[in-house]
Amino acid sequence: MKRLGFAVVGLALLGIARAAPLADEEAQFISQEIGSATVYADCPDYEMVPNAAETIGDRMGVGENIRAAVMAAYAQTLDNQPFNRAYLIPEVTRRVNMVMSVLEQRRQQNNLCGLGPAYTKRGWLRLKGG
């Protein structure tokens, strides 16, 4: 009986230790931040809007922990980029990896820059010289 009690407590603790699933706003934020950063990096007509991540994240109700996890997860996808493992959140990393995969497909199809206007409309990017 005592073992069963320990097993139940152990399972309960495992459930507590699991991170909560991402809220819709967090998932959208991750997709938009990674998407806009990728468009910026690959499309010479666009530049990042200063402080866009903070402004948009605050507007969407996304916490600083998620924003830090996005940057750490993004950095770990790039070769030789330093990142702090302490900031990684598995759900965020999985979302970043999924978004990066979709963006890579768009890059290979030569239509990545077609996302620029959408990120401009949402306040992430702006046209250079505009």
Each domain of the chain, given as residue ranges in start order, spans 26-127
In angstroms, the Cα distances linking 45 to 17, 102, 115, 117 are 44, 21, 12, 11
Strand extents, DSSP E, 7-105: 46-48
pLDDT value, residue 6: 38
User: What string of pLDDT tens digits covers the 130 residues of the chain?
Assistant: 444 443 333 333 333 334 578 999 999 999 999 999 999 999 999 999 999 999 999 999 999 999 999 999 988 887 667 777 888 899 999 999 999 999 999 999 999 999 999 999 999 999 998 6
**Predicted TM-score (pTM) of this structure:** 0.80
pLDDT, position 10:
39
Look up residue 12 and give its two tokens.
Answer: 């309960």
Six-digit token pair at 90?
A: 């598995």
3 state SS of 91: helix
